[in-house]
Amino acid sequence: MVPLWQRPPRAVYLHVPFCRRRCGYCNFTLVAGRSDLIQPYLDSIALEMAAYDDLPCQVDTIFLGGGTPSQVRDDHWRQLAAMLHRNFPLSADGEWSVEVNPEDVDRGYLEQLRTDGVTRVSLGVQSLSDDKLRTLEREHTGQQARDAIQLAIDIMDTVSADLIFAAPNETLSRWKDDLASVIDLGVDHISTYGLTFEQGAAFWSQRGKGLLKTVGEELELDMYLLAIESLIGAGFEHYEISNFARPGNRCRHNECYWTGATYHAIGPGAARHLKGRRETNHRSTTEYLRRLQEGRSPVAESDEADDRERALEVLVFGLRRIDGVDRDWFLANTGFNLDDLGGQALQEYRGEGWLQDDGRRIALSRRGLVISDSLWGRLLAS
């Protein structure tokens, strides 16, 4: 048996680091207001791709994340698409996702994406309420978001919407409205994130100075539970902690992260998993560009675990999936017996009711789900 982490990659992630300006809560790898860097960026990713000796490499999924990939348009887009076609030809029936911001959406752009092979757009909706969007310092309005969703549903195979909850001052009923509206609009997939305060984001220091009122743990929990309830009620499958899909519309690319598969990654801050090694490119866009222009490696961090650690990783990330982890699948794909590996921690979590176990597979219970970040540390230390 070849374990998961030694198999050839069937996926590629491309990081596109451009945004008009930085949203208050965001600490992602990006440059704001630097569209002048798009061409140097395209030149650099071409250099990065040229450096891999296993390209072209046929893949089943492509994911363009950001930043804001929809900032790359027209001729720039054509260069990018051509590069991907050349280096990462998509298998028949493959999935190609692009993150798109509502304010960038127009018919021409989406049709171009579709023509070039994109199958799925993930819209950075975040909310349909103008107030909340303003609080989050987003560039679009509620109406723009609605229009974008409708147009995308019209043109693309699959449409996903990202929603944020627990924004400052948000109430449960406002959140309920957001959920209802997005469901009504008919998206196929929803990712929903509780707002976090990250070092490096403007909100972090604003909260530190007492300028932002956070919603509090209880309400945030209620919002999360409400999302699960409403979406399941509307026919979505809750398939990962923060992801919901209508049947047949799960994001296959994201699934490969959670099942421990290998994948290529290109661009600043991009993280790859190849031959059992996890590597992350330099997070500074300018440093990334400089390194490639100077013929140096863009890799900033690299981490090679032993097989046992890798298997534990597969277990932990696998448990983020609501379906959980199947014992036979686990043995067949990692070479480790799940119960031997997770030992005491698993037993204890089962005892506490944080894990369900039907004998074949283990999965988080609802109680375990909401405190799951407290479970992983112990489990990884097994």
Partner 1 sequence: MQLVGLIWPCNGLNRRLSENLNRRDGLNLTSIPTKNIRNFCIIAHIDHGKSTLADRMLESTGTVENRNQKTQLLDDMELERARGITIKARAVAMKYRLGETTYELNLIDTPGHVDFQYEVSRSMACCEGALLVVDAFQGVEAQTVANTYAAVDQELTILPVINKIDLQNARVDEIIAEIEQTLGIDGTEAMPVSAKTGVGIDDLLTTIIERVPAPVGDPDGPLQAMVFDSHYDAYRGVITYVRVINGRLRRGEKIRFLRGGSTHELMEVGQFRPQQIACDELSAGQVGYVICNIKSLSQVHVGDTIGTVKHSAEPLTGYKEPNRMVYCGLYPSDGQDFSELRDALNKLAINDPSFEFEPETSDALGFGFRCGFLGLLHMEIVQQRLEQESSVDLVQTAPNVTYEIALTTGKVLEIHKPQDVPNVGDIEEFRQPIVRVNFVLPVEYIGSTIKLCQDRRGIRQGTEYLSPTRAMLTYDLPLAEVIYDLHDKLKSATRGYGTMDYELLGYFPADLVKLDMLVNGKCVDALSVICHRADADRRGRAVAKKLKSEIERHMFEVAVQAAIGSRVIARETVPALRKNVTAKCYGGDISRKKKLWAKQREGKKRMKSIGKVDIPQKAFMAVLDTGQE
* Closest CB to partner 1 among residues 339, 352: 352
Helix (H, G, I), strand (E, B) or coil at 216: coil
Q: Give the helix ranges, DSSP H, for the chain.
A: 38-51, 74-87, 107-116, 130-135, 142-155, 172-185, 202-208, 217-233, 252-258, 285-293, 307-319, 327-334, 338-352, 366-370, 373-380
User: For residue 195, what are its two tokens?
Assistant: 């707002």
| Least distance CB 201 / ligand SF4 (angstroms) | 9
Give strand pairing partners of 158. Answer: 120
Q: Which of 4, 12, 23, 159 binds ligand SF4 (CB under 6 A)?
A: 23
Choices 23-31, 108-116, 332-340, 366-374; region in contact with ligand SF4 by CB under 6 A? 23-31
What values do phi and psi take at 177, rounded to 5? -60, -45
Instruction: Work out the burial of residue 358: count CB atoms within 10 Å of its CB; fewer than 13 is exposed, 13-18 middle, 19 or more buried.
Output: exposed
Residue 67, binding choice from partner 1, ligand SF4, none, Cβ under 5 to 8 Å by partner class: ligand SF4
Q: Which is nearer to ligand SF4, 49 or 136 (CB)?
A: 136
SS3 67: coil
- Comparing CA positions, the residue from 250, 272, 271 lying closest to residue 8 is 272
* Least CB distance to ligand SF4 at residue 331 (A): 39
Among 10, 44, 62, 66, binds ligand SF4 (CB under 6 A): 66
**374 interacts with partner 1 by CB under 8 A:** yes
Site string for ligand SF4, 120-159 (x = CB under 6 A): ----x-----------------------------------
Of 337, 352, 360, 366, the residue at the interface with partner 1 (CB under 8 A) is 352
Going by C-alpha positions, the residue among 148, 136, 51, 59 that lies closest to residue 107 is 148
Name the region of 84 (left: φ>0; alpha: ψ -120 to 50; beta: rest): alpha
CA–CA dist 108, 80 (Å, integer): 17
When CB distances are held under 5 to 8 angstroms depending on the partner's kind, the choice from partner 1, ligand SF4, none that residue 192 binds is partner 1
26 binds ligand SF4 (CB under 6 A): yes
Contact residues toward partner 1 (CB under 8 A) are 13, 63, 65, 192-194, 196, 217-218, 220-221, 224, 240-242, 254, 257-258, 263, 265, 269-273, 278, 280, 301, 303, 313, 317, 320, 352, 354, 369-374, 376-378, 380-381
